[in-house]
């Protein structure tokens, strides 16, 4: 009797287990053998499940892995059941370009799910994106940034003063021969970029250049964004409330990020009067006033998501470009010496160094920054796009509607067909005069080839709206530091931020600035000392 009852209990469980196993095996066989993307090479785990992308995102080396996969398999790599990574300039244009038949993939749903609203940076809907982007583009337009120039310069002045300061045990006389106390440029570039974005978005600096009170944000934001990045590949992790079980710390990080974003938005809304110089929030609120009643473009949740993601995107990426430029200049002395010779004679005083024709004429400065961003992009991984009808053809390969495509910034920036000797810091690769033995057309073609794969701000309609602001910030900041100070790597800390054997997968190159892919790049170093030049 009891045996019959036991058998009747276990038989359905066994049957269900068999069915589940057969179903899973069927999916695996289909994805590996019969799926329309089955012919494309890639890691075995990636072909059968998006857990592959989750695992690589948790490891923080997704950018390195994409490059290794393309070096092994070629320009097309299947890294998910329905995902292809492309590593060509043609692919970059056809996936992200202005006329590309693509939109942001479902990966971005996780952002609106956490912030409970849409931002111009993450919304999938094309029409909504264009409306929101129009407002943000106006907020960060040439005329708007010009009106904010003094706010930006105020922070850069504070930054350059802090670079030259010493601890109490050292001299604080900037005119002496002594070097400053060592500065970790990752930290100080973060302080500067976050303070600027706080002023620009909320009319309220985070005060990181002044003291440590708000510096905790530097951990909260990238960890929160990385949590979104990890779960974006498999959104059901959040939908089924499995974050606490699978990634407890990750879930906590995202909640801290959300809390910070809500706090900043609430503080800005509490301001009774509009700021003298309109900030980004002013434009968002004004667009709501001009909208038809009950049809505001930015809901309260949208305001939180928009401003917080703008701060993250505009701060972390710019900070990485600043610290990477210092890293590569100081590890490549001829480039550093050439930059000093370009900057110092052009300006008779520090305050002359601001956005304008003279600064824009510093072509070596721009080349040094571009080359640093090529080697160390602020967003090193792949931004997924889903194909719309009628699909797209890339290098004779047709991809149908519904397939996810993308280009890893780090991988294409190290594509040897576009950037020969790609791990060598060569600012001259951006300048036509580098090729004196070639015709003008031949030299220009080489530079155009380099530009064809260059995407530190992405490209097309979904490219970074703050690119103009970022480049002005970068040019002024680097130029002022070079004009004001002599620089050196702190003795004993010359290898901070460098690669080397034993430092992990794909991190063996001593001269490469190391990135951790947390959707945005995170770095450490270089450790630099400054001395006021005479």
Domain holding 328: CATH number?
1.10.630.10
CA angle 36, 99, 458 (to 5 degrees): 90
Place of tokens 């570039």: 189
Q: Is residue 2 part of a domain?
A: no
Q: Is residue 377 part of a domain?
A: yes
Place of tokens 């905790």: 216
Q: Is residue 25 part of a domain?
A: no
Domain count, the chain: 1
Q: Is residue 9 part of a domain?
A: no
Which residues of the chain fall below pLDDT 70? 1-17, 20, 22-24, 113-117, 168-177, 238-251, 253-254, 272-274, 291-295
Separation CA 103–CA 109 (nearest Å) = 12
Residues 6+ apart with CB under 8 A from 286: none
Q: How many angstroms separate the Cα of 246 from the Cα of each of 50, 58, 240, 534?
A: 15, 12, 11, 57
C-alpha 361: how far from chain center: 27
With contact defined as beta carbons under 8 Å apart, do 156 and 192 qualify?
Answer: yes
Place of tokens 């302080």: 191
With contact defined as beta carbons under 8 Å apart, do 469 and 314 qualify?
Answer: yes
With contact defined as beta carbons under 8 Å apart, do 221 and 184 qualify?
Answer: no
Q: Is residue 118 part of a domain?
A: yes
pLDDT in tens, 20-60: 676 567 777 777 787 899 899 999 998 999 899 988 888 88
pLDDT in tens, 160-171: 999 999 876 554
Q: How many angstroms separate the Cα of 37 from the Cα of each of 47, 55, 511?
A: 9, 21, 37
Strands of the sheet with 385-387, listed across from one edge: 76-80, 83-86, 404-406, 385-387, 102-104
For residue 234, give its domain range: 35-532
Q: Is residue 63 part of a domain?
A: yes
Q: Is residue 402 part of a domain?
A: yes
> Beta-strand (E) ranges in 269-388?
385-387
CA angle 198, 199, 205 (to 5 degrees): 65
Separation CA 48–CA 79 (nearest Å) = 9
With contact defined as beta carbons under 8 Å apart, do 347 and 483 qualify?
Answer: yes
Tokens encoding 490: 């702190």
Place of tokens 């504070």: 158
Q: Which of 379, 298, 378 is nearest to 136 (CA)?
A: 298
What pLDDT score does 234 carry?
81
Q: Is residue 186 part of a domain?
A: yes
With contact defined as beta carbons under 8 Å apart, do 499 and 462 qualify?
Answer: no
Q: Would you say the pTM of this structure is higher than 0.85?
A: yes
């Amino acid at each position: 009797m009891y045996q019959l009852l036991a058998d009747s209990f276990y038989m359905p469980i066994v049957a269900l287990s068999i069915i589940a196993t057969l179903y899973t095996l069927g999916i695996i066989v289909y994805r590996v053998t019969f799926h329309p993307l089955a012919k494309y090479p890639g890691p075995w785990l990636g072909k059968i499940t998006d857990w592959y992308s989750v695992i690589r995102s948790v490891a923080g080396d997704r950018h390195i892995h994409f490059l290794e996969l393309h070096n092994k398999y070629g320009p097309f790599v299947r890294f998910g059941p329905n995902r292809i990574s492309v590593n060509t300039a043609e692919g970059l244009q056809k996936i992200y370009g202005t006329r590309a038949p693509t939109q942001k993939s479902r990966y971005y749903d996780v952002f609106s799910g956490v912030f409970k609203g849409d931002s111009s940076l993450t919304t999938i809907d094309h029409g909504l994106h264009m409306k929101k982007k129009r407002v943000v583009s106006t907020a960060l337009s040439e005329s708007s940034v010009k009106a904010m120039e003094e706010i930006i310069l105020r922070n850069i002045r504070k930054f350059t003063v802090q670079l030259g300061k010493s601890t109490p045990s050292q001299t604080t006389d900037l005119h002496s021969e002594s070097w400053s106390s060592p500065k970790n440029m990752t930290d100080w570039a973060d302080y500067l970029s976050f303070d600027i974005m706080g002023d620009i978005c909320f009319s309220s600096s985070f005060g990181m250049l002044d003291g440590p009170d708000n510096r905790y944000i530097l951990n909260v934001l990238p960890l929160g964004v990385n949590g979104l990045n990890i779960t974006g590949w498999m959104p059901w992790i959040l939908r089924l409330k499995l974050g606490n079980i699978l990634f407890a710390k990750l879930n906590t990080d995202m909640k801290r990020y959300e809390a910070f974003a809500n706090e900043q938005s609430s503080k800005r809304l509490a301001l009774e009067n509009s700021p003298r110089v309109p900030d980004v929030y002013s434009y968002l609120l004004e667009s709501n006033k001009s909208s038809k009643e009950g049809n505001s473009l930015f809901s309260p949740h949208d305001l939180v998501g928009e401003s917080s993601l703008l701060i993250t995107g505009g701060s972390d990426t710019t900070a990485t470009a600043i610290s990477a430029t210092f890293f590569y200049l100081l590890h490549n002395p001829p480039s550093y010496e050439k930059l000093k010779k370009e900057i110092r004679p052009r300006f008779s005083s520090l305050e002359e160094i601001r956005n304008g024709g003279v600064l824009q004429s510093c072509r070596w400065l721009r080349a040094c920054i571009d080359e640093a961003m090529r080697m160390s992009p602020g967003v090193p991984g792949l931004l997924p796009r889903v194909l719309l009808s009628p699909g797209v053809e890339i290098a004779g390969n047709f991809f149908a509607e519904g397939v996810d495509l993308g280009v890893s910034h780090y991988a294409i920036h190290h594509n040897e067909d576009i950037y020969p000797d790609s791990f060598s810091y060569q600012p001259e690769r951006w300048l036509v005069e580098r090729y004196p033995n070639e015709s003008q057309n031949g030299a220009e073609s080489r530079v155009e080839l380099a530009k064809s794969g260059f995407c530190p701000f992405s490209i097309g309609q979904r490219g970074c709206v703050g690119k103009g602001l970022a480049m002005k910030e970068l040019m002024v900041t680097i130029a002022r530091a070079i004009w004001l100070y002599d620089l050196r790597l702190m003795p004993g800390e010359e290898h901070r931020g460098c690669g080397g054997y034993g430092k992990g997968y794909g991190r063996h190159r001593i001269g490469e600035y190391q990135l951790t892919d947390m959707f945005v790049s995170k770095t450490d170093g270089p450790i630099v000392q400054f001395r006021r030049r005479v």
